[in-house]
Amino acid sequence: MNITTAIPTDITPKGSDYDVVSRVVELLTENYREQPSLDAIAGELGQSPTQLQKTFTRWAGLSPKAFLQAVTLDHAKRLLRQEELPLLETSYELGLSGPGRLHDLFVTHEAMSPGEWKQRGAGLTIRYGFHPSPFGVALVMVTDRGLAGLAFNDAGHERESFEDMAGRWPNAVYVEDSATTASYAARIFQADRWREEEPLRIVLIGSDFQVRVWQTLLKIPMGKAVTYSDIACDIGQPTASRAVGAAVGRNPISFVVPCHRALGKSGALTGYHWGLTRKRAMLGWEAGKV
């Protein structure tokens, strides 16, 4: 039952990886117009170029230079343009619950009924735990129906993630149980554990509108992106792109429900609940896996 201790070594060979990486990501994306050199970045961070290169590449599967390319505006626009329509048209036959290759992480999803949603979590027991992840400390929340919440924050801010998430379902009972959540964390962040036979069960707790938006997000394949207005059209409300933005922002299962693949119409990365740097990091990290 001590998977808990195994995970850190599997995911973040050095615990501080994400700290270093996020600073590199920040530096790179703030100055991407100047295409800073590895030496310049290393100098800024007070590290040796080779050490930095190694740390970053191990984390992203991508050299800093390639990453810089991946978070550049032109690249984002390219992600958007590829095969405009079929992208979202496809998997509506899935209905509300049922297995499917929703993106490269196999997921089955079900939604809570509107009645259950109004209860604000009443009668629900949520087990939670904190685990290291490639994007900082992850807060994992599960019910007996599957994964219900996933949040990220920098080390030392665990309390904030928890308050944020718990506030969404204030009537639920919360039990710390990292033994249970550890296996979810491992499944989510280790790409070699993604298997069709044993999909990850998730449960979407939200309003009818929110659930429709989140289901649409699940249809976006890895390495692709859509705009907020694409999503609005897909759910049959073409003028609601702003409402879509708000709903995307309330996505409780960050990363698994790939809200980071929603971009502004220009290809610019707009907002992200857990910090824009993390959104860039996720996009870049995925670029390294595709």
Partner DNA sequence: GGAATCATGTGAT
Partner DNA sequence: ATCACATGATTCC
Looking at beta carbons only, is 33 or 192 nearer to DNA? 33
| 263: three-class secondary structure by DSSP | strand
Q: Please say which residue, 21 or 259, places its beta carbon nearer to DNA.
A: 259
What ranges in the chain are assigned the alpha helix state H?
3-11, 17-30, 38-45, 49-60, 64-70, 73-81, 86-89, 114-118, 158-166, 178-189, 208-218, 228-234, 241-249, 276-289
Q: List residues binding DNA (CB under 7 A).
A: 206-210, 227-229, 237, 239-249, 251, 254, 259-260, 262, 264-265, 270-273, 279
- Least Å from the CB of residue 264 to DNA: 4
Catalytic residue status for 259: yes
Distance CA(160)–CA(259), nearest Å, equals: 20
Please, which residue, 65 or 273, has the CB nearer to DNA? Answer: 273
Position 55, amino acid: T
Shortest spacing between CB 282 and DNA, in angstroms: 10
Q: Which is nearer to DNA, 46 or 170 (CB)?
A: 170
CA distance 215 to 73: 26
How far is residue 61 from each of residues 42, 54, 55, 275, 284, measured CA to CA in Å? Answer: 18, 10, 10, 22, 9
Cβ of residue 145: shortest distance to DNA, in angstroms? 20
Residue (of 82, 71, 89) closest to 22 by Cα position: 71
Nearest approach, Cβ of residue 254 and DNA (Å): 6
Q: Which residues are catalytic?
A: 259
